[in-house]
Amino acid sequence: MPGVETIKSSWADEVELDYGGLPPTTETVENGHKYVTEYKYNKDDKKTKVVRTYKISKQVVPKTVAKRRTWTKFGESKNDKPGPNSQTTMVSEEIFMQFLNSKEDEKANDPLLDPTKNIAKCRICNGEHWSVNCPYKGTAMDTNLMEKKAAAAASAAVDAPKSGKYVPPFLKDSQKGGMGMRGRDDTAAIRISNLSESMTEADLEELVKKIGPQSKMYLARDKNTGLCKGFAYVHFKQRKDAAAAIEILNGHGYDHLILSVEWSKPQNN
């Protein structure tokens, strides 16, 4: 009996007979592996079959990464299954980063971010709020505090230094009543910085009038706009009053700004 020759057809011909074109991508899971079968045309316009094998494993990832993988897909991948789509996503080698401390741990251990702790400290009532928002601002408590600071600064300025130490000329004049050879202390000038643009001469006078008498005040203004340029000079009649002004106003909150007060540098003629 003559032998019967079996003609085997290629899988490409069978696919064309079954589907009339390229079949859809299929996925199967067996023994901890996922097999993805995909059909496409190569450069020679021939049908090719691509089988990708993935090993299924569990990994511990940060919470932000796990949450991002649950986001709803959109655009061309709106109806895709979970995971990357080979037609719209190129899968490359994963890069793992090891962080010494996570952001959650840093926030938990940072005392400055603790909502139960208040970093503000009022100078007037010692409460846990900023001095500019103190309910006692402008009251007798605030006035008494400024008077106490002025008295303490004045007493420190007129105290005689210990014997055997160098005594600056301005301290010698202050020990004699705060007056120089011409009847006044020309070095009792201070510079007040970080003033707001809305500052006026009247506001400047109101700020320093309780500290001591002044001989001259100058508020720097812009020539074009007429607004305050952020600094001013105040000349007191006595140096001890100028020292008291620096002690009281330096770091003082005024008009939502923190003032910076220092001795005025002499001009070189």
65-74: pLDDT as tens digits: 888 888 888 8
Calculate the CA 25 to chain-centre distance.
Answer: 50
Q: How confident is the model at residue 126 (pLDDT cuts 50, 70, 90)?
A: confident
Provide mean pLDDT across the span 146-173: 61
pLDDT attached to residue 111? 55
Burial of 13 (0-12, 13-18, 19+ CB in 10 A): exposed
CA atoms within 13 A on the CB side of 162: 1
Whether the predicted pLDDT of 229 surpasses 70:
yes
pLDDT attached to residue 121? 72
pLDDT attached to residue 107? 60
Asked if residue 245 lies in contact with residue 260, where contact means CB atoms within 8 angstroms, the answer is: no
Whether the predicted pLDDT of 233 surpasses 90:
yes
Phi/psi at 103 (5° precision): -65, -35
pLDDT attached to residue 262? 92
pLDDT attached to residue 235? 92
pLDDT attached to residue 234? 92
Q: Which residue has the higher pLDDT, 236 or 9?
A: 236
Q: Which residue has the higher pLDDT, 219 or 82?
A: 219
Average pLDDT, the chain: 75
pLDDT attached to residue 228? 92
Topology at the third CATH level for domain 189-263: Alpha-Beta Plaits (3.30.70)
Q: How confident is the model at residue 103 (pLDDT cuts 50, 70, 90)?
A: low
pLDDT attached to residue 3? 47
Q: DSSP class of residue 166?
A: -
pLDDT attached to residue 180? 45
Q: DSSP class of residue 182?
A: T
The percent of residues in the chain predicted with pLDDT above 90, rounded, is: 9
pLDDT attached to residue 115? 55
Provide mean pLDDT across the span 99-111: 61
Range(s) within the chain of domains with CATH label 3.30.70.330: 189-263
